[in-house]
Structure 1
Amino acid sequence: MSDHELSNSSEFLATEQVTGQIHDSFQLLKDLSNRSGVLEVFRGDVNWIIYLKRGQIQFASMSVQSLEELDYHLHYLGCKKAREGLRTAKSVETTQHSLADMPLDSIIHWLGREEFLNAKQISQVTEKLSREALEPLLWLQEGEYSWQESESTEPLISIVPHPQLATLIEEFRDRLASWQKLVDKIGSPHQRPYFFNQRAVDSASNPNIAKLSKLMRGYSIHQLAIYIKQDEIKLARMLYPYIGRGEIFLREPKSAWRQLPTLPKLVKPETQNQISSRASAYEKTIKIACVDDSPTILREVQRLLGDDKYEITKIENPIEAAAILFRIQPDLVLMDISMPEINGYKLCSLLRNSNALSEVPIIMVTSRTGVIDKVRAKTVGATDYLTKPFTKASLLQVVEKHLS
């Protein structure tokens, strides 16, 4: 049975299984908002499982959730006894019975059986994990699903009382609208913010930002929000202007969380003014930024390219480069590799991990000619490679190639 038939069928046998392709995850869940059974969703190496009873959520989880994530939620809820119980269990575990290999619902069930968690706490942590799993599922724009209709299937743990799926769908739809106002700078709440240098921390006008800098040790926006007991959208709004100015940068999510769908961008129909602006953009001066600690190279690039067609921004201090690049939003970046304090590889990687400059062509301009250097440049996201010394012809060739 197809996903179209799921939308239009009102009765199921108790054992009937439906599989199909996902094109609209909101619609899929809406179709199940009065059903009982188990929904499994698959996208690459990530899978979700959701238990429903008459349109109410009993439990939801996703495969990337780990023991570490459970510990964050236990911290948020103040479940000290459960956290101590987990630490004790981990200290005596064997390779045959590793907690890290157990599903989270089994671990929570065990914590309840051993009286590290009471019934109310089990419900609270189950709700936290379920919401954490459901929200990114609703960002999914393609995938596969399997639905097993059943009145009798019960998860090991459950939210009490069960929240209505339809209510959560609407709540997460509103949250997505809030996220989409930030999506030009933030692609996922699982990206990991950090300050590029101490000067940015010292100059932060918001004292909460300075405090947060001490916690930015590889935690994602999502994890930081749990840790400081703050809604992650509110935290993202606080970070947003600093990300825009290039004072805070976002690393990619950790490997497991990198597999989750990113926030879908808001697509608006273009107005006539926007169409006209886009058409006239081709007539505007092209902005090229050159990052090099050598004033000689900067002057040479200015001399060779600085005509009416190109507007050149020269950046001699690599530490200040990222903030300037975020501010001016160049059409192309020429970048030296060998620079003090931060080399071109690191700076290129940093720009590639940002939403604002992830697609801008970055040309490595360097005297290094080895194959390993070129491979490394490609690995960190460089678009092309230009060897010093260069001529006007070779410089124009590589610039026009990537601006065409």
Structure 2
Amino acid sequence: MNNLKIIESGRCFQELQICTQLQYNGQLNIRNSEGKKWIFYYRLGQLVWATGGNHPSRRLRRNLAKYCPYLDISRLNLAPENTSIDHWDYHFLENLRQGNKIKSEQINAIVENTISELLFDLAQQANYTSLTCEKNQSVILEAPINSTTANMFLKQMQDFWNSWSQAGLANFSPDLAPVLVKPEELRKQVSPSVYKNFETFLNGKHTLWDLSVKMKQSVLKITNSLLPYINQGITALVEVPDLPLLVMKFKNNYVSNQKLNKSHAPLIACIDDSPQVCQILGRIITSNDMRFMKIEDPLQALPILIQNKPDFIFLDLIMPGMNGYELCATLRRTSLFAKTPIVILTGSDGVFDRVRSKVFGATDFMNKSVATDQLLKVVAKYLGTAPTIDNLSNLAFCS
């Protein structure tokens, strides 16, 4: 069976189209027999993001270099920090957008290129290994300005795969990096200037996808031009690791009380986009011999929480970029916070919100119009502490 027939008949590729037909919201997770994973995110049947494969960080860096060449990636705090969230790259782009460092049309281009690359990777995998897929609705991402059906992406992928296969490249993955194996043999065949280019770029550090961006040529053209030298053994294609994750530098997003030297005092975190709520809650907490940290941007919450490991989390329900349900579910999937008390804060007191909060893993639910004694009681209930209520006991806060 040739590759195209595998693609057309494969259940996972059919599932990509079915998700569009059913206007599905959520993830479609695809794995091969070796545990490699690709994740496609849908909103109302439209593909809005994809991640996974061999090099998610390398892919994001490459797309930023291609579509946002003015960005100095070295100043975006490149760090090998594991954010423990599959779609960290999506939220990284959201951070750039909110900081007015990237425009909507650039995000759209990156989204489309990312989905196309991952579908092509999936097409190659279908020829060598079995694929399984499953749906998961725990994470529903907001759509970019332009979202696209799976059918269009699949057609583009098949056209590209046809060209790739007809060029004799079916066995070569663009995720591989070319390296110069026999430099003296190459020197005999090419001009000094061409040899210099080979020596510069074929160092085993840049994948074929990477070279496509660096040299501003299609990956098909670059790989096809290398094929004669690969067949002669002058160059070889090798596997390379992914690059460190891109993690945003954090603003001064958290504050703590003057009693930080009390290292054993409970650390209480508040994730809320309202500065007023964070300020008042912080005054209550710090005046009762506990430490406090605030996070006003939910898209930056997870890595900050991982770094600081709070003992208790207050979480706003309605926030831009990521709602409280989604963040709560993400925290529960992170081993550090599987058992951390998480209390949802909301301006609504509806039964539906309470039930849904429990479904997504919340420990408890509080209305934002809460007095100090109520707040301290819920902290004491889940931390086993008995804080003293001081002169702030008459304060209340609201959204």
TM-score using structure 1 length? 0.48
TM-score, normalised with respect to structure 2: 0.49
